[in-house]
Chain A
Amino acid sequence: EAGVTQFPSHSVIEKGQTVTLRCDPISGHDNLYWYRRVMGKEIKFLLHFVKESKQDESGMPNNRFLAERTGGTYSTLKVQPAELEDSGVYFCASSQGYEAFFGQGTRLTVV
């Protein structure tokens, strides 16, 4: 069974540019989560989809971040325009029950 897949694995962009991260969850998992880890800090929750609906987006830092989940399958997280403080590792996770499985993450560097 394929795990959670994220791409790109790395992205380096300039401040002010736009970046879109993609996550493909484990097939059949209704729950999809986005998390972020900035250097020296703990992994922080961003938002939670149940199928195609946003269940909880209380962790989204500001309106420069937009997440979508098309047809309850893959999800994208767009940052527009990117700022320096957006640098970090963005993880996606999926679950069917309470146990969540993580992707490899996308390391985003904004310069």
Chain B
Amino acid sequence: QKEVEQNSGPLSVPEGAIASLNCTYSDRVSQSFFWYRQYSGKSPELIMSIYSNGDKEDGRFTAQLNKASQYVSLLIRDSQPSDSATYLCAVIRYSGGGADGLTFGKGTHLIIQP
């Protein structure tokens, strides 16, 4: 059974600090991992994807993947009030016929305090 777990928060971080969001998954064959940001009442917005162990950086965002420990994290440097949102961790498992749908965690509500 695929499962993705996140701490629902809220996670409160002062402006300018580093926000650290964590996610664990249960399906060892999972191969692709995504972070989506969702503002209240809006659609999930893809911000990071990661496919291999290690770190991937894009601007102020860094995704980290450790397949042996089955966890993926997202770091947001120099946090801004506009980063306040719910961050969704999602995992995809290939069926051999193409990309399967995503399995989502419940999301972590991040609050950046000015």
Chain A interface residues toward B at CB < 8 A: 4, 31, 33, 35, 41-48, 50, 55-56, 59, 91, 93, 95, 97-105
Contacts and interface: CB of A to CB of B under 8 A. Distances in A.
Contacts of A46: 101
13 contacts: A4-B43, A42-B104, A43-B88, A43-B102, A45-B101, A45-B102, A48-B100, A55-B95, A98-B99, A100-B102, A102-B43, A103-B43, A105-B43
Contacts of A4: 43
A98 B42 CA distance: 22
Contacts of B34: 99-100
B97 A55 contact: yes
A97 B44 CA distance: 17
A98 B104 contact: no
A98 B49 contact: yes
B98 interface: yes
Contacts of B46: 99-102
Q: Which of B49, B100, B102, B105 has the most CB of A within 10 A?
A: B102
Q: Which of A31, A45, A98 has the most CB of B within 10 A?
A: A98
Contacts of B32: 98
B24 to A, nearest CB: 14
B26 to A, nearest CB: 14
Given A31-B98, A97-B99, A98-B99, A43 B43 contact: no
Interface string B86-107: 0010001001011111111111
A98 B30 CA distance: 13
Contacts of B92: 98
B43 A31 contact: no
A43 B101 CA distance: 11
Closest 10 CB pairs of A and B: A45-B101, A102-B43, A43-B104, A42-B106, A42-B104, A102-B44, A104-B43, A48-B101, A98-B99, A33-B101
B55 interface: no
B78 interface: no
B98 A50 contact: yes
A91 B44 contact: yes
B57 interface: no
